[in-house]
Amino acid sequence: MITAQAVLYSQHGEPKDVLFTQKFEIDDENLTPNQVVVKTLASPVNPSDINQIQGVYPSKPEKTTAFGTSEPAAPCGNEGLFEVLKVGDNVKGLEAGDWVIPANVNFGTWRTHALGEEQDFIQLPNPTQSKANGKPQGLSLNQGATISVNPMTAYLMLTHYVKLNPGKDWFIQNGGNSAVGKYASQIGKLLNFNSISVIRDRPNLEEVVEELKELGATQVITEEQNNSKEFGPTIKGWIKESGGEAKLALNCVGGKSSTGIARKLNNNGLMLTYGGMSFQPVTIPTSLHIFKNFTSAGFWVTELLKHNRELKLKTLNQIIEWYESGELKDAKSTETRFDGSKELHELYKDGVANSKSGKQLITY
């Protein structure tokens, strides 16, 4: 019998007010034939996890009394890495020691253990398996626990909508220094796409520009340059020289930053919006729509992959391959280990509070 713990909420609200830790038991001695018991290795605090708790996110877990609460309560967390502890007699695809991630969102990953069935999980190679397969390196906890959202978002936005011609065509993105932005720069380079990353001006601008170019951004410009008419011809020059076109814009900011990147596209361009950090709406000059046949669409990895397991697996496999070869670097997280000195929900509350200054990962 395992005494497990999960972070739950029964009422929506600010995480600091509504999270609590619930203990519950998993009877690992009497598994039904299809059951799988896993223990958590790590799970991050994502913005969407926070929005789910606040009740302002359109996808959310069902409330349940299955954790033994008197009131129905919902588990927190959508991304996480687990290790298989034990499997039922009919489970053929997984065994103890395997690394898995949830197959679907709303699984509840802010917990110590979970009981599920084989189809609830997708296997990742654990470091021993990567080594046995002759790979240069295995996945880190952070790579495994954060593989489902940011790198998948970057890869799918770059490949699923517009065909960029390698060595020629360009994409432009704002939020170039964000986690997704860094993945997009790297993946762009791996796929041989030219890219322009827009970032905010800052005291150590040159340093960040160099870092992003090292990751793979072809050019890095500031929001001021993005909004400047005078700077436009410089960008047109880069694109012309490449013999390609700027076909795709990735927007996680909105407002005039979205207008700026939209204007850089050639005719028939597409902008995908996957975030709105400025809290300003996406703003598109009428003439871009009419005379440049510009299209503005949305991207939400959850919805895209909900009914497309094949695409999810294909994308995961590509990311895994790049992690194992060392060609793709993960966005670093601040890691905090659950060692029992604080209650589990207190760790995640701290994680939420600290998430403004960088991605937080709780390890077990």
Binding site for a copy of itself (CB under 8 A): 58, 254, 259, 273-276, 281-300, 303
- Nearer to a copy of itself by Cβ, of 195 and 258: the residue is 258
Pick between residue 128 and residue 268 the one whose CB is nearest to a copy of itself: 268
Residues 350, 91: Cα–Cα separation, whole Å: 37
Q: Which two tokens stand for residue 189?
A: 């380079």
- Of 125 and 269, the one with the shorter C-beta distance to a copy of itself is 269
Residue 280 is classified by DSSP as P
DSSP 139-180: PPHHHHHTSTTHHHHHHHHHHSS--PPTTT-EEEES-TTSHH
Tokens of 50: 């926070």
* Residue placing its CB nearer to a copy of itself in the complex, 9 or 299: 299
Question: Has 57 been annotated as catalytic?
Answer: yes
Structure-token pair, residue 163: 């065909």
Q: Which is nearer to a copy of itself, 274 or 322 (CB)?
A: 274
Nearer to a copy of itself, 127 or 276 (CB): 276
Bridge partners (DSSP) listed for residue 101: 122
For every residue of 8-41, DSSP letters joined together read EESS-S-HHHH-EEEEEEE-TTS--TTEEEEEEE
Minimal distance in Å, beta carbon 204 to a copy of itself?
Answer: 29
CA distance 130 to 137: 7
Q: How far is the CB of 40 from a copy of itself (least distance, A)?
A: 28
Task: Evaluate whether 299 touches 325 at the Cβ level (below 8 Å).
Answer: no
Taking the complex as a whole, how short is the minimal distance between the CB of residue 288 and a copy of itself, in angstroms? 7
**Distance (Å, rounded) from C-alpha 231 to C-alpha 164?**
24
CA-CA distances (angstroms) from residue 13 to 52, 111, 161, 239, 336? 9, 20, 36, 47, 24
Distance CA(339)–CA(151), nearest Å, equals: 29
Token pair, residue 64, equals 């349940």
Do strands 20-26 and 81-87 pair parallel, antiparallel, or not at all (unpaired)? unpaired
Shortest reach from residue 284's CB to a copy of itself, in Å: 4
Give me the least distance between CB of 252 and a copy of itself, in Å please. Answer: 9
| Residue pair 153/301 in contact by the 8 Å Cβ criterion | yes
CB of 282 to a copy of itself, least distance (A): 4
Active-site option among 57, 183, 348, 364: 57
Active site residues: 57
